[in-house]
Structure 1
C-alpha cells in the first residue's frame, strides 16, 4: 500500500497523522473490491444465492467508486466515513438476508478495529455501539418471532451482546492508547531533549512549509538566528552543567518573548532559530531587539551575564532556493553582529 499512497498522495508524509489512515483505506478498499467480486460470483455460480450476490456486487461498485475518489486526491475524512458506512451497509444486508443466523454475526467482528482506526476512538465507539445495538435489537426481535434458525438461542444472543460490549471498550482503549503513544513519539521526534523547544529536524520541515505557504499568499517571511555569546567560555569556567542550564533559560526566555505564530527551535549547539511568518524586516528587527534585551536581563546564578548575537533575514520573493538563501543571509548577519561587538543584531532582506 505504500507505493499506492506515494503515487496518489505524495504530500502525506510519514509524520502526517493521516499517513496510516490512507494506507488502511487503500488496503480495505482493495480487499473489498477483490472479496465482493469473488464472493458475489461464487454466490451465483456455486451457492445459488443471487440475493446475497446482489449485495456483494453493490459492495464491489461502492468500493470501486470510493477507491477512484481517494486515488484522485479526495478528502480523506470523507473517505473514512464512506468506507465505514459502505462496510456497515454490506454487513447489515448480509445479516438481514441470513435472518440473524449465527454465522452472520461473525462478520460484525471486523467492524470495530476499522471504525475506531478510521473515525477515531470517540466517534468509532459511538458508531460501532449504534451498529451493535441495532444488531442486538434485530436479532432479539427475530428470536422472539421464531424466524431465526433453531441454532440461534437466547444464550447465543447474550454471548453476542457480551462480546460486542467487550470489543467496544477494548478497541476504544487500544485506539486511544495507540494515538496517545503515537502523539508522544511524534513530540519526542521533533523536540530538543534539553531545551524542550523544536529540534533541527522540525525546523527544516517547518521552514519549507512556511515558505511554500508564503509563496502562495505573497507574504514576507523572516528568520532570526541567535547565538549565545562566549558560550565556550561559560562551559570552560562554570562547567557543562551550567552551560546546559544557560541554554534552557535562554530557550525559555526566547519562547516567552515571541509571538504566538512564531516557531522557536534549537538550531544546533548554542544556536537558536525563530521562524516568523508574515513578518517584515522592521517587524523582525523589533522582535529580535525584544528578545536580545530579555536574554540580557535574564540573570543567572554566579552573576553570570548572558547575551546573544542575532542575525535577521527576510524573504519577499520565493523559489526553490529561498530557504537556503534565507538561512545563509541570517547566518552571515549573525556573524556581522558578533564582529561588531556581540550582544546586538543585524537585519537585512535576502538578495
Structure 2
C-alpha cells in the first residue's frame, strides 16, 4: 500500500528550527532552462559546422588546384581553386574576429554556390563536373536552416536541370577520363567528410543535452528527475535479485534558512555549491549523490546494507562538521536512511527515509537516523 505523509507531519518537519525548503523548479521553469540550453547548444553546433565547412573548402581547393596545375595543366581553373581557398580562409578569419555567425554562414554558402557554378562553366560541364552541386544542399541546410536551405537548394537544382537541358540540345562525343574519375572521388570524399562531421557533432550535442536534462543547474549534481530514474533502476535490480541490498539516504542542511537570512541567498547558493563538491568527492564511485530539492540531498547506494550506510553517513557528518564548506558559519547535516526492499514500493522507502530524517531533526540535528523497520 502506498503511504502518504500527513500534512501535519510535513508542517511539523518544516517548522523544526524554522528550516524552510527552497522552492523546487516547476516543470515550466525546467523546460525553459532546457530550451535556453538547447538554443545555446544549437548555436555552438552551427559554429562548429561553419568552421568545419570552411576548412574542408580550403583543403579541397588547394588539393584540386594542385592537381589542375601539375596533372591537367588547367591553369585558369587552378587559379580559381586557389582564389576559393583564399576567400574561404578570409571568411574563417572574419568569423574568428567578429563572431558574426549569421553573416559568416551566408558568406560561406554564397561563396560555395558561386564557386561551384563558376567551376562547372569553366569545365564546360565535362567530366561529371555537375556532380559538385551535390555538396551544396548539406552545406546550406546545415548552416542556414531548413527554410532558407530548401529555397537555395531548389534554386541550385533548377540551375543544374537547365544546364543539363541546354547540353542535351548540343550533343557531343567525349571520352570520360581521369578528370571525371577524380571529380567523382572528390565529391564523394567531400560529402563523406561533411556528413561524418555533422553526425559526430549531432551526437555530441545530444549527449550534452541529455546530460543537462539530468543535472541540477546550481550544484552540478544529479537532479530530481535523474534520481527518480536511478531509484527505479536500483529498485528493479533488487526485485530481480541482481543486487543483494540497496539503501537510500536523504540528507538535509541544518538551519539553512539562517544562512539565507543572515548572509543572503547568494551566499546560500555558494554554500550549496561547495557542499555539493564535497559530497561528490566523498561519495566517489561508491554510489550516487544528487540534489533532491532545496537544501536536501539524496544518496543512492547499491550493494550496501544499512550498517555500512550508517557508518558512511557518520563519517560524512563529522567531516562536514569539522571542515565546513561555508566560511561564514559552521555547517552540520542530518541524515535519514532507509532500505530499498524488493517487496515495498520506492515511495515507501522514501517516506521511511523522510521520517528518519524528521527524527534526526527532533533529536537535535547533526545526527544519523535509520527507518525504524531497518534498525
Could you tell me whether the CA contact under 8 Å between 1:257 and 1:294 is conserved in 2? no
Partner-residue secondary structure (3-state), 2:216:
coil
Matches for 1:8-157 after TM superposition, within 5 Å: 152-157=176-181
Specify the alignment match of 2:221 in structure 1. Answer: 197
Number of residue pairs the alignment of both structures matches = 208
**Map of 1:258 onto structure 2:** 283
CA-to-aligned-CA distance 1:12-42 (integer Å, 9 cap, x gap): xxxxxxxxxxxxxxxxxxxxxxxxxxxxxxx
State the alpha-carbon separation in 2 of the partners of residues 244 and 232 from structure 1: 12
Unaligned runs of 5+ in 1: 1-101, 114-148
State which of 311, 315, 319 in structure 2 corresponds to 1:294. Answer: 319
8 Å CA contact 2:243–2:302 kept in 1: the answer is no
Q: Residues 258 and 291 of structure 1 are in contact (CA less than 8 Å); yes or no, is this contact kept in structure 2? A: no
2-side partners of 1:331 and 1:341: how far apart? 16
Q: Give SS of 1:179's match.
A: helix
Aligned residue number for residue 164 of structure 1: 188
Q: What do residues 176-217 of structure 1 show as CA deviations (whole Å, max 9, x unaligned)?
A: 111111111111111111111000010011100111112222
- Following superposition, the deviation at residue 259 of structure 1 comes to 4.3
1:201-280 superposed matches below 5 A: 201-216=225-240, 217-280=242-305
TM-score (norm 1): 0.55
Query: 5+ unaligned residues in a row in structure 2: which ranges?
Result: 1-126, 139-172
Following superposition, which runs of at least 4 residues in structure 1 exceed 4 angstroms of deviation? 149-152, 300-303
The verdict on how the C-alpha distance between 1:295 and 1:179 changes in structure 2, with shifts beyond 3 A counting, is: same
Q: CA RMSD in A?
A: 2.7
The aligned residue for residue 330 of structure 1 is: 353
Find the structure with the greater CA-based Rg. 2
1:344 aligns with 2:371: no
- Which SS does the other structure have where 1:275 is aligned? strand
How far is 1:303 from its partner?
A: 4.4
The alpha-carbon distance between structure 1 residues 286 and 257, as it changes in their structure 2 partners (threshold 3 A), is same
**Alpha-carbon distance, 1:252 to partner:** 1.3
SS in 1 for 2:331: coil
CA contact (8 A) 1:221 1:278 kept: yes
- Aligned partners of 2:301 and 2:348: how far apart in 1? 16
For 1:39-90, what per-residue CA distance to the aligned partner results, in whole angstroms no more than 9, with x for missing partners? xxxxxxxxxxxxxxxxxxxxxxxxxxxxxxxxxxxxxxxxxxxxxxxxxxxx
Q: CA deviation at 1:343?
A: 0.4
Q: 1:220–1:280: 8 Å Cα contact kept in structure 2?
A: yes
Give SS of 1:194's match.
coil
After TM superposition, list the pairs within 5 Å mapping 1:308-323 onto structure 2. Answer: 308-318=333-343, 322-323=345-346
Distance in 1 between the 2:238 and 2:194 partners? 45
Cross-structure match for 1:118? none
Superposed CA offset, 1:212-269 (max 9, x none): 1122225111011000000111100111011111111111111111141401100000
User: Is the CA contact 1:225–1:274 (under 8 Å) kept in the aligned structure 2?
Assistant: yes
Q: Conserved in 1, the CA contact under 8 Å of 2:306 and 2:374?
A: no
Asked if the contact 1:211–1:318 (Cα under 8 Å) also holds between the matched residues in 2, the reply is no
CA contact (8 A) 2:335 2:367 kept: yes
